[in-house]
């Protein structure tokens, strides 16, 4: 697999004008649209360090959290398209925000260039241990016998875990009560205590509680089984083909970035996949390195904007 990545990178480099090799000639700012700490911040910092080592230039992390990742994402959207301001982008600020923030200051389809995706992190569908279900189909069957009697927790209105659960409910026909919290931290103890019955949450916070026996895991939200949890079925396998609500991580630049610079960043992202220490560090935090080139990533962004717009419209999800 790594040999294939190197061949892809070599092909991309061969197609690049020689002038592009001059980039970067000064430090690059990498905006992470979250506060310091947490999985997304770790992923962004790890990739920044990998690129800095490769380029021989500092890649300076700039944490700009808040407003569902839209503050940091918006800064990159409005920055000069010279390659010296990049975004470690995630679903929230790029594909979810256009549907839940009516006054968004940027249009990701016009103002951002998707350079490459490099990692994917699943969410987990988990239930309180007191709920008599062992599978997704069991949960759906039980919920349909108790319309609006079960409740599902989320880390906040409009966040990916909320919309992932809302899409799950929509696709299965479940009628349940949404209980939003200000983050996974306060949501999970109530789920453990049985004050809510199920939740879709990021792997980093949910998996340790599953491993300690405090919650029961029913499925992962990736389209295919997740490499580090091969025994766990996907939601899609359980009668919901097409269901996917995983968090991706990728590099973006302001629209208008010169093609040679864009191609160099795209190719260098492939080379990061050979960094064993980076791969191991991301895996420990629930993110597996999975490369997508600019064209592939652009298609994912376009598809996800349409997907989440549909979910928001049908469920009435809103931002906090």
pLDDT digits (tens, 9 = 90+) for 265-319: 999 999 998 899 999 989 888 899 989 999 999 999 999 999 999 999 988 887 7
| Residue 314: per-residue pLDDT | 86
Query: In the predicted model, what is the mean pLDDT of the chain?
Result: 91
pLDDT band at 2 (very low <50, low <70, confident <90, very high): very low
Under a CB-based contact definition with an 8 Å cutoff, are residues 96 and 160 in contact?
yes
Q: What is the pTM of this model?
A: 0.86
Inform me whether the pLDDT recorded for 228 exceeds 80.
yes
The CATH class of 123-238 is alpha beta
Domain segments of the chain as ranges: 2-120+246-315, 123-238
Q: What is the CATH number of domain 2-120+246-315?
A: 3.40.190.150
Distance (Å, whole) CA 69 – CA 48 = 18
Residue 183 CB coordination number (10 Å): 13
- Tell me if domain 2-120+246-315 and domain 123-238 are identical in fold: yes
Query: To which H or E segment does residue 28 belong?
Result: strand 28-32
| Residue 284: per-residue pLDDT | 84
| Residue 19: per-residue pLDDT | 39
pLDDT in tens, 178-206: 999 888 889 999 999 999 999 999 898 89
Question: How far are the Cα atoms of 33, 71, 108 from residue 78, in angstroms, in the given order?
Answer: 14, 11, 11
Up-side HSE of residue 236: CA atoms within 13 Å toward CB?
Answer: 14
């Amino acid at each position: 697999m790594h040999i294939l990545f190197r061949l892809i990178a070599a092909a991309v480099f061969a197609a690049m004008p020689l002038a592009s090799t001059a980039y970067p000639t000064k430090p690059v700012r990498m905006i992470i649209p979250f506060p310091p700490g947490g999985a997304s911040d770790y992923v962004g910092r790890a990739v920044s360090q990998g690129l800095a080592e490769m380029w021989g230039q500092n890649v300076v992390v700039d944490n700009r959290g808040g407003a569902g990742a839209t503050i940091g994402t918006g800064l990159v959207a409005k920055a000069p398209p010279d390659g010296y301001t990049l975004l470690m982008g995630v679903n929230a600020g790029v594909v979810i925000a256009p549907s839940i923030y009516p006054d968004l200051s940027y249009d990701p389809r016009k103002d951002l260039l998707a350079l490459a995706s490099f990692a994917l992190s699943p969410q987990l569908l988990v239930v309180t241990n007191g709920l008599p279900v062992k599978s997704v189909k069991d949960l759906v069957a039980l919920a349909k016998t108790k319309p609006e009697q079960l409740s599902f927790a989320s880390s906040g209105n409009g966040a990916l875990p909320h919309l992932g659960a809302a899409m799950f409910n929509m696709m299965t026909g479940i009628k349940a009560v949404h209980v939003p919290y200000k983050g996974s931290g306060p949501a999970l103890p109530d789920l453990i205590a049985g004050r809510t019955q199920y939740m879709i949450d990021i792997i980093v916070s949910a998996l340790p509680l599953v491993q300690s026996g405090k919650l029961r895991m029913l499925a992962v939200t990736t389209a295919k089984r997740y490499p580090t949890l091969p025994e766990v079925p996907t939601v899609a396998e359980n009668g919901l083909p097409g269901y996917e609500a995983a968090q991706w991580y990728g590099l973006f630049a302001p629209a208008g970035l010169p093609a040679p610079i864009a191609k160099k960043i795209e190719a260098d992202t492939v080379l990061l996949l050979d960094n064993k220490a980076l791969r191991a560090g991301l895996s420990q935090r629930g993110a597996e390195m999975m490369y997508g080139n600019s064209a592939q990533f652009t298609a994912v962004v376009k598809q996800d904007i349409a997907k989440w717009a549909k979910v928001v419209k049908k469920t009435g999800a809103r931002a906090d």
